[in-house]
Amino acid sequence: MPVEVGKPVPDFSATATGDTTVTLSELRGKQVVIYFYPKASTPGCTTEGGDFRDNKAQFDAANTVIIGVSRDSLRAQENFKAKQDFNFELISDKDESVCQLFGVIKLKKMYGKEHLGVERSTFLIDREGKLAQEWRGVKVPGHVADVLAAAKALHTGS
């Protein structure tokens, strides 16, 4: 059963870029934005990641950590991060464990064929580890601004 708004997000650990492991429980005390994207180095994913990169200082000011997740290999994630100069870590979720936890694997259509893929989605987790807000089926333009506004509001308690 995927995560639910208002409920604690189950703890997880996952391999990420920068020779790190992201463990959700170790981020308590900070807000966390976890965004899922279909494939590294594709146009929409590059734009979305760039928007998060360009707004990182404002997320930092709102005590909010940014983490990107896709099913790409760690090598592909490292290359994507380096090429786009991302200033946050990317999780390589080859086994789809984090994707399954958040319920983002969906039946998608591409060129008339159906396949299982990652639905572009973003989740905002509060300082106590509860899911504060979710965005599913995301369209990239304007999305990061919406997430930033939510993170700021959650941080200030408004």
Among all residues, which ones are annotated catalytic? 45
Handedness of CA 95, 101, 107, 109 (dihedral sign): negative
How many of the other CB atoms lie within 10 Å of CB of 25?
11
How many residues appear in the chain? 158
Contact 10, 3 (CB under 8 A): yes
Q: How far apart are CA 87 and CA 122, in angstroms?
A: 18
Find, among 157, 130, 108, 122, the residue nearest to 51 by Cα: 122
